[in-house]
Structure 1
Amino acid sequence: LVNAAGLTSRGSLLDTTPELFDQHIAINLKAPFFAMQAAVADMTARKAPGTIVNIGSNCAHGGPPYLAPYSAAKAGLAGLTRNAAHAHRFDRIRINTLNIGWTATEGEDAVQRAFHDAGDDWLQQAAERQPMGKLGQPDEIADFVVFLLSDRSGVVTGSVIDWDQNVLGALD
């Protein structure tokens, strides 16, 4: 199972409505919870090992002020990953989360234009400010997810992996 759905609409601590908060929890936390529940129930009923990868976000560590409900929900997903991985490790079900950093997608382009008044050159400007000179690429993420789903990732379970070019906690 790969839980990859996500909602990234904007809201700060002060302007997020209960409805917006509930939307983020529903898409970014509740849906993965119940998808995992169904998958784990099936795997355990069949006594079959399995693998689950949740797509998280580096915003789970805090995130920008305008992503408060998103950050809260993704932080919950990281905790859920560890909880479920611990609970089902002897069922041979591996559960991990990949916390994605800034990635060049069509959705990100739409968000940058809608919420941040970005022009046609926003991606080039953003890439130039990144340590590796680019934003993450969807195919790179897909390759990493396939690795986590495969037997090549070994016994890894309960891990929340930061897939990003910026180092958490490091400051210049």
Structure 2
Amino acid sequence: MTLLKLLALDEEDLQVVSSHLQDAVVRVGDMVFLPSQKRFVAIVNRFDWESATGKDTKNYKRRRTGLRFDRVLSAKHKELRPEKPDRVLSLLAIQFEAGEAPSGTVTLTFSGGVIIQLEVECVEAELRDLGPSWVTRNKPDHPGDAAADTESSGASGA
């Protein structure tokens, strides 16, 4: 079992973290901003895209993963509904918009129009797998995936 651990110290690193967390699911109650520590943390169930080969559902896995942002000055949200801690969201992307270097805004975009914006002194994030994976029957689906699958299967048959 290989556990993933990534550090992000700039926008390019954060794009790598974002790609590994695409389609991670998270409960609203499993995310918290800790202002006294200048930290935002979340525990997510990330989809293991590296092992999701072909249509064999035995290769579809999820894994508990911690996500931490340090040097966070403030956190704002839109449509989060903190009063519903059991609400499950799907993480679509993490992006960084630079301000006065090295500061800026980290935006976490979720399904359902939910957005969390973190004002940061600089990019300092960590993704860390917390344990073994488990099999899931469902692979996240995106518009256009079927066309891509058809094209790639046609190309492999040539």
TM category (shorter chain) comes to under 0.3
Q: Which structure shows the bigger proportion of residues in helix conformation?
A: 1
* Higher fraction of strand: 2
TM-score (norm 1): 0.24
Output the TM-score relative to the length of structure 2: 0.25
